[in-house]
Amino acid sequence: MKKFSKIISFISASFLLTNTNVFASENNSVSIPFDQNNNVIIQEEEIKKGKRLFNNTCAVCHTGGITKTNPNVGLDLKALSNANPPRNTILSLIDFIENPKTYDGLESIAETHPSIKSADIFPKLRSLTDGDLYSIASYILSQPIINPEKWGGGKIHY
């Protein structure tokens, strides 16, 4: 809870919380779900930072939003939405990177999936701050809006 309130104060200091649906706006910002009830406007710089961190930490397995070793559990909105509980919001993605669970939510996979919880065995995760996790989650959720035909299982472009 302490961690969440830290994240929330960080966010409300820098961003606007809204209740609108997902849309891509003209000035290179996107509105994506923060939690089940609220959307947040994410600026281009945030997405760029998230992309850099994602490429450094996650892309070896998730390039283009797929999962190389398990194509059924990609980072596209359909796969994220059907997880239990759904992973299609910033908070739920941060939760996953902190302590990842099986698709049905029943068991931790922190020992095999890079996470904050298992940073002792995944050194790249050690330096990630709460703000970095926010950026990575924002990047993942912005891609279905910004690059819909390149992100996820649909068409493979590389």
In whole angstroms, give the CA distance from residue 117 to residue 105: 16
Instruction: Please tell me whether residue 102 binds ligand HEC under the rule CB under 6 A.
Output: yes
**Residue 70 interacting with ligand HEC (CB under 6 A):** yes
Sign (positive/negative) of CA torsion 130, 83, 53, 109? positive
- Could you say which residues in the range 13-42 bind ligand HEC, by CB under 6 A? none
Q: What is the DSSP letter of 21?
A: P
Q: Does 93 bind ligand HEC (CB under 6 A)?
A: yes
> Which residues, 6+ apart, have CB-to-CB distance to 105 below 8 Å?
83, 84, 85
- Given 69, 106, 129, 156, the residue binding ligand HEC (CB under 6 A): 69
Q: Which residues here bind ligand HEC, judged by CB under 6 A?
A: 57-58, 60-62, 67, 69-70, 73-75, 79-80, 83, 87, 93, 96-97, 102-103, 109, 113-114, 136
